[in-house]
Amino acid sequence: MNTEDQLNNAKPFVIGTEKCPVCNSIATINIYTYETPPNEKIIIMTMKCENCGFKTSTIIPIATSFSNKCIAIEIATPQDLNTLIYVPEDSIIEISEINIKIEVSQLKFGNILTIDAILLYVLELLEQIASSENNMQNIKLLNEILNGNVNKKITIIIKSEYGVEVLKSHSNENYRVC
Ligand SMILES: [Zn+2]
């Protein structure tokens, strides 16, 4: 089965946007999950620019279970926001720099996420909490990072008994098993 057939079989969802390397306008990043029997999955990540027609795709085969119980991803540059992670249900997301720990029992957005999707989720939660000086500062910090202004380095720690994995990253240096 070729890639085109797999794309037709799978249900895509948008996980974010990135600057088009050709024309610099905003390109959409989609992922498709394709299940291959018996117990494997293939993720196909595509980037598509509506402006100039640039298209690229990456195929990432993944096992359905991972052995890492804890992964720490450091966000020091805007590229780190595009790190793609497999987050199982029943995970704990911690960001010690803003003193937050969230237990995630059910992910409304699926199991394959970019860091900016996780930060956006945390930001939405913070915005629902009663406003305090501290909380306002954390909201401001996350907004800045999501806008690509990473002035302060933060580390996102994801823990789960079911296994966490970094599926794609621009560098091997920005995450570690903990
Ligand atoms: Zn383009």
Q: In whole angstroms, what is the distance from residue 83 CA to residue 170 CA?
A: 7
4 Cα: distance to centroid of ligand 1 (angstroms): 21
Structural domain boundaries enclosing 36: 3-63
90 Cα: distance to centroid of ligand 1 (angstroms): 38
Same domain as 171, residue 118: yes
- Closest residue by Cα to residue 35 from 65, 6, 3, 8: 6
pLDDT tens for each residue of 58-87: 877 776 667 899 999 999 999 899 898 988
Report yes or no: 10 and 33 within 8 Å, Cβ to Cβ.
yes
Report yes or no: 165 and 67 within 8 Å, Cβ to Cβ.
no
106 Cα: distance to centroid of ligand 1 (angstroms): 35
pLDDT tens for each residue of 20-30: 889 999 998 88
Same domain as 104, residue 86: yes
118 Cα: distance to centroid of ligand 1 (angstroms): 26
Same domain as 104, residue 52: no
> Is pLDDT above 80 for 176?
yes
Same domain as 25, residue 89: no
- Give residue 50's pLDDT: 92
46 Cα: distance to centroid of ligand 1 (angstroms): 13
- Give residue 155's pLDDT: 96
- Give residue 8's pLDDT: 46
1 Cα: distance to centroid of ligand 1 (angstroms): 29
Overall number of domains in the chain: 2
DSSP E strand boundaries for 9-134 = 11-19, 26-36, 40-48, 55-63, 70-75, 84-86, 91-95, 100-104, 112-114
- Give residue 151's pLDDT: 86
42 Cα: distance to centroid of ligand 1 (angstroms): 26
Q: Which residue has better confidence, 120 or 40?
A: 120
55 Cα: distance to centroid of ligand 1 (angstroms): 8
Same domain as 159, residue 91: yes
Same domain as 49, residue 15: yes
CATH number at residue 89: 2.60.120.1040
47 Cα: distance to centroid of ligand 1 (angstroms): 10
Same domain as 170, residue 112: yes
- Give residue 103's pLDDT: 87
pLDDT tens for each residue of 6-47: 444 556 777 778 888 899 999 988 888 777 666 667 778 888
pLDDT tens for each residue of 129-172: 877 888 889 999 999 999 989 888 999 999 998 889 898 888 88
- Give residue 13's pLDDT: 74
